[in-house]
Amino acid sequence: MHEPLLNRVHELRDLAGVINLATWDQETYLPRKAEAARAAQLSTLQGLYHERLVDPRVGEWLAATPVTTARERALVRVLTRERDRAVRLPSRLVKAIAEAQSLALGAWREARAKQDFRVFQPRLETLVRLRREQADALGHDGERYDALLEGFEPGMRVARLAPVLTSLVARLEPLVTAIEARGPPRDVFAGKQFPGEAQWAFTLEVLEGLGFDLEAGRQDRSIHPFSSGLAATDVRLTTRLREAQPLSAIFGTIHECGHGLYEQGFSPDDARTPLAQAPSMGLHESQSRLWENLVGRSRPFWSFFYPRLVARFPAQLGDVSLDAFLATVNRVERSFVRVEADEVTYNLHVALRFELELGLLRGSIAVADVEAAWNEKTRRLLGLEVTRPTDGVLQDIHWAWGEFGYFPTYALGNLYGATLFAAARRALPTLDADLAAGRPRGLLEWLRQNVHRHGAQFDAEDLVRQVTGQGLRDDDFIAALTARYG
């Protein structure tokens, strides 16, 4: 590969790392009065990244660079795809989106505090307008959503995604109804308080136990859990603590740990290149959902970790059996908040957001009407009445980031994750025994070898097919739910 192109690739990845660092800080430690300054800084950084990427010389170098290995072919393919999208966007629009995202985050936090969507509405209107403009600049065949979805899940289109989600909802609804008919198990956390610092200590114990390298990453606190990979040696995770709901922090940590393990598992040979990333957010979410649900809600996992949780909270859990605890962990009920939803109803939340985002991008739903539309769809899909915005339209951070097209990747991640986990089970006959003994490294190494180390060398579905013999399908996911819930 030509040295000038490789140097530029390294510069771009370094810039991306600094942008991610500034964004992580914005959600964790940034002083409230610094929001406008950070908006300007991110606008400048995003503008610099865009200018360095669309530089005509990069196109010339890509056309002229000798490609002799599969890795080089993949690197040129991934960089070309990113650049082809970038050259269609004027620098003015890139900077405007970056600034709008930063300002929207502050408005979203204020709106949540005041329980008033109207505080956030003007900023969301700006982001929707800019994302429509972005979609039109990128180009599409009539669905603006396709252009934005491509940025998260290359190759996916509404025409394929909508039937996948429709089929998934149709298969889940009778399962939810059947489980609900049995009646809810006792909530072993009801009426109890779990001090935040003890929760925090337990989440760090879980992180280390699952194999997350705390010398190459860290965990902090935020309103909405998220992860950010600055490099394979610098991965930032966050969780949130609720003293009456300890599972919020525990499963937030396990979910983000799944992302973090993926980020730490990229090949060192790909450092400072676009191959050191997931090929799609659907595959990235497959890792978080696999660890959160298929491992983190299992009896083998808690056979090891539950005694350690009880040791942190003897007064609250000392008389609670593992069976009673697992019944609460795997409680299935329709609920308002996506990040705290059980694994059976979770995809109903994704379908709700997909329908709304599609309407916003098409223009069939106005931002002024989106809160009412959210509440109506919650009533239809989940059978619940939203009474406050933080249980509805203000619960997710994604729209404050302007990330329209991201939500469907959670559902795709559930499907990919189940297919990968089924393959891991076939390859690792002692998996349950290893998890029960506190030895998840066998599973982690299997994922390292088959998924993580490849980075973006293969497209997501191609990689899953290579590993498992199956592409995108919901059979393994439904089978996993049926096995757990009967």
Degrees to nearest 5, angle at CA 436 with 429 and 442 = 50
Nearest CA-CA partner of 418 in 339, 322, 349, 347: 347
Please state the three-class secondary structure of 147-167 as a single string. Answer: HHHHHHCCCCCHHHHHHHHHH
| CB within 8 Å of 189: residues ≥ 6 apart | 244, 245, 246, 247, 316, 328
The residue count for the chain: 486
Distance between CA atoms of 72 and 5, rounded to whole angstroms?
A: 12
Distance between CA atoms of 449 and 469, rounded to whole angstroms?
A: 16
Neighbours of 362 (CB within 10 A): 14
Nearest CA-CA partner of 279 in 455, 464, 471: 455
Task: Tell the residue number behind the tokens 């959600």, with chain if given.
Answer: 27
DSSP 246-315: HHHHHHHHHHHHHHHHHHHTS-GGGTTSTTSS-S-HHHHHHHHHIIIIIITTSHHHHHHHHHHHHHH-HH
Distance between CA atoms of 73 and 77, rounded to whole angstroms?
A: 6
Residue 473 backbone dihedrals phi, psi, to 5 degrees: -155, 160
Distance between CA atoms of 306 and 158, rounded to whole angstroms?
A: 42
Crossing angle of the two packed helices 158-180 and 408-427, in degrees rounded to 10: 70
Task: Mark whether 256 is an active-site residue.
Answer: yes
Strand 227-231 to strand 217-221: parallel, antiparallel, or no bridges (unpaired)? unpaired
The letter for the amino acid at 119 is V
First-to-last CA distance in the chain? 54
List the catalytic residue out of 27, 99, 256, 292. 256
Distance between CA atoms of 367 and 131, rounded to whole angstroms?
A: 13
Catalytic residue numbers, as ranges? 256
